[in-house]
């Protein structure tokens, strides 16, 4: 799995017990064989896109606060594709 998608799957794992939308996206990552974050984004529903738009800015800030610039960069790659 591409590193960007691995980071996304990892953060979604923290949300899967809270709501169905995170579980849907997580399952797509687990079951889909996406070659890039663009492939995943094209496969998202409107609701899933809105969900990621809501959590990714916080997760990117968190990664930056933890000085994990690589994770912040990779998550930002996904975030930019959502628009």
User: Which tens digit of pLDDT belongs to each residue from 23-38?
Assistant: 999 999 999 789 999 9
Tokens representing 34 are 């996406």
pTM (2 d.p.): 0.92
- Residue 1 has a pLDDT of 56
Supply the mean pLDDT for the chain: 94
Is residue 55 within 8 Å of 11, Cβ to Cβ?
yes
- Taking the mean position of all CA atoms in its chain, how far away is CA 51? 10
Cβ-Cβ contacts under 8 Å for 46 (sequence gap 6 or more): none
- Give CA–CA dist 17/62, Å, rounded: 20
pLDDT at 20 over 80: yes
CB atoms within 10 A of CB 30: 10
């Amino acid at each position: 799995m591409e590193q960007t998608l691995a980071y996304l799957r990892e953060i979604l794992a923290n949300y899967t017990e809270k709501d169905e939308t995170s579980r849907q996206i997580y399952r797509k990552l687990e079951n889909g064989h996406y070659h890039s974050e663009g492939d995943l984004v094209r496969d998202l529903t409107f609701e899933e896109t809105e969900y990621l738009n809501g959590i990714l800015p916080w997760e990117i800030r968190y990664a930056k606060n933890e000085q994990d610039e690589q994770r912040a960069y990779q998550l930002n790659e996904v975030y930019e594709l959502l628009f």
